[in-house]
Amino acid sequence: MLSHLPQIFLGRTSWVSVLCFVPLRLAVLLFGFSIMTHANPLIYSAAEPAKNKKLVLIASDHEYRAEETIPALARILAKHHGFDCTVLFGLNDEGEIEAGASNVPGLQTLADADGLVIFTRFLALPPDQMKHIDDYLNRAGPVVGLRTSTHGFNYPKNRTDDPFYKYHFRYEGEDYWGGFGHQVLGQSWVGHYGKNHQQSTRIDAIPEKAKHPILRGVTDVHVHAGGYNAEPAGDWNILTMAQPLMSMLPDGAPDPEKPPMASEWTRTYRGERGEEGRVFTSLYGASEDILNAGYRRMIINGVYWSLGLEDRIEGDSDISFIGSYEPNTFGQRREAKGVRPFDYEGFATPIPANHNTAKPGK
């Protein structure tokens, strides 16, 4: 309904904020939720948040369609679970969503965030943006990290004097060895485990961890993304093992040369004042991965756990998609072209906004 209103009535220009009040209040009365939309961030806000928690979800990777996974998860978390969700995308100079762009406006919204879901790869954000992530981590805010976030930051050699260079996934300084991936999520980039795009992955709970809250109601997990190597550390609480398959089908035969590999775990990290922050890491999360209900539930449960809300995790809670979700197949720079954050406003607009995934210049 709101998508048919003129742009002036959707909060995209600040001087009409008063005029926006009436239609937004009407949306609350008619549908039980409110929607606030800006160029970046994109906000999904329940009218009466059940959890009174604000989440910031960051999407900017080159290959695995974080820009589709993240808003789809945010809608579920907002509409079905009562979280206030702020989605931030990597944008190009025209304000369009660009896979892996090192420009993520709106990170100041982390200042009062209760939780962070991050899906990034090889970003080199400008210091005025990265400062907000640094501030959040310094206060040990909860983190859920997906797929490429183990190597979420990658600064070029001419920026070794950047104040946040320590977040580089290959940082070798003793003060923050391994960067964000190692220090927060538990490991930096290790490598592929099998043939990506040719082998899919089955994820199984470790039997003795089957009663962990994150695994509540989680069954039959199969994802399209190929295996990632893991190098478990002593502080990991490993929940699942990933088995590379010989095809892209759920019933594919296990790769006889690739035994199961750790794929999801929890841990804690410390902020600058010594506080501990909860972390849930998944080595998967591509756009097509969340089509699997078991995987999708595991990530939703992981958000709850990271916030200390494990007592509220219900194994049969609603995790259905809000609006149309027909993801593009993941691939390098194969994101939908010409899409802006406001194309995903509300709960009815399709994700992705289009299937024009031709690489730039094609």
pLDDT digits (tens, 9 = 90+) for 213-272: 999 999 999 999 999 999 999 999 999 999 999 999 999 999 999 999 999 999 999 999
Residue 21 pLDDT > 70, yes or no? Answer: no
Range with the largest mean pLDDT of 43-57, 279-293, 345-359: 279-293
The confidence score (pLDDT) of residue 17 equals 33
Overall pTM > 0.85: yes
Q: What's the 3-state SS for the chain?
A: CHHHCCHHHHCCCHHHHHHHHHHHHHHHHHHCEEEEECCCCEEEEECCCCCCCEEEEEEECCCCCHHHHHHHHHHHHHHCCCCEEEEEECECCCCCECCCCCCCCCHHHHHHCCEEEEEECCECCCHHHHHHHHHHHHCCCCEEEEHHHHHCECCCHHHCCCCCHHHCCCCCCCCCCCHHHHHHHCCCCCCEECCCCCCCEEEEECHHHCCCHHHCCCCCEEECCCEECCCCCCCCEEEEEEEEECCCCCCCCECCCCCCEEEEEEEEEECCCCCEEEEEEECCCCCCHHHCHHHHHHHHHHHHHHCCCHHHCCCCCCCCCCCCECCCCCCCCCCCCCCCHHHHCCCCCCECCCCCCCCCCC
How far CA 158 is from CA of 11, 124, 129, 165, 236, in Å, comes to 39, 11, 18, 11, 34
pLDDT category at 48 given cuts 50, 70, 90 is low
Q: Which tens digit of pLDDT belongs to each residue from 189-208? A: 999 999 999 999 999 999 99
Residue 24 pLDDT > 50, yes or no? Answer: no
Domains and CATH numbers, the chain: 1-26 (no CATH), 32-190+263-344 (3.40.50)
Which has more confidence, 7 or 115? Answer: 115
In whole numbers, what is the pLDDT of the chain averaged over residues?
89
- Rounded to an integer, the average pLDDT of 152-177 is 96
pLDDT category at 3 given cuts 50, 70, 90 is very low
Write b or e for each residue in 201-234: b if 16 or more Cβ atoms lie within 10 A of its Cβ, otherwise e.
bbbebbeebeebbbbbbbeebbbbbbbbebeeee
